[in-house]
Amino acid sequence: MPLEDAITSHERAVAELVARDRLQAKAKIDGVSGWGLPSVLFLCIHNSGRSQMALGWFRHLAGDKALAWSAGSEPGSELNSAAVAAMSEVGIDISSELPKPWADEVVQAADLVITMGCGDACPFIPGKRYEDWALADPAGKPLEEVRPIRDEIEKRVTELLERLGAAAV
């Protein structure tokens, strides 16, 4: 069987998203694109709920004033449907993202790494700025329990953008 046939469409889509993130991070590291913009990496275990909602809020609120990525230490197979629905309620579509693993280039390019419950499973680079956001995990929770998590993430992202000098648009 040819390799192209053995790779699922899901695996291909994840590989494309990881490549996109790595190239964007490499461009920032090399000073080609995004140089000088504050950048953040949101990390959690499965990259299917909290970190994806944070990325959605960040991109929505920051516009082109800052860069952000999200990843997981043990990426899940799909986004949390309640997280997607909760974000959709506020007009933010995160459905095109997929859980993906972190990449060295992205960790290096980030000015700040925000962890969300991944503990020792998240990458650690000495000298890199880290923050841990203690947030409830939306995994397995119904939409009505995910909404307060979404709202808390919005509050934290808004405060973060103010600290980074990239106040919400």
CA angle 130–128–99, rounded 5-degree value: 60
- The answer to whether residue 107 is catalytic is no
The verdict on residue 168 lying in a domain is: no
User: What CATH number does residue 135 fall under?
Assistant: 3.40.50.2300
Q: Which helix (H) or strand (E) holds 80?
A: none
CA angle 110–158–56, rounded 5-degree value: 65
The verdict on residue 27 lying in a domain is: yes
Name the residue range of residue 154's domain.
Answer: 3-163
What pLDDT, on a 0 to 100 scale, did the predictor assign at position 36? Answer: 80
The verdict on residue 50 lying in a domain is: yes
Stretches where the chain sits below pLDDT 50 are: 1
- The answer to whether residue 138 is catalytic is no
- The answer to whether residue 118 is catalytic is yes
The verdict on residue 122 lying in a domain is: yes
Query: 71, 98, 118, 161: which is the annotated catalytic residue?
Result: 118
- Chain CA centroid to CA 19, Å: 14
Q: Rounded to whole angstroms, how far apart are CA atoms 20 and 145?
A: 32
The verdict on residue 28 lying in a domain is: yes
The verdict on residue 57 lying in a domain is: yes
Q: How many domains are there within the chain?
A: 1
pLDDT in tens, 120-150: 777 777 888 999 999 999 999 999 999 999 9
What pLDDT, on a 0 to 100 scale, did the predictor assign at position 6? Answer: 59
Q: Rounded to whole angstroms, how far apart are CA atoms 16 and 35?
A: 23
Structure tokens at 164: 């980074």
What pLDDT, on a 0 to 100 scale, did the predictor assign at position 27? Answer: 82
The verdict on residue 51 lying in a domain is: yes
Query: 68, 106, 122, 135: which is the annotated catalytic residue?
Result: 122
What pLDDT, on a 0 to 100 scale, did the predictor assign at position 124? Answer: 78
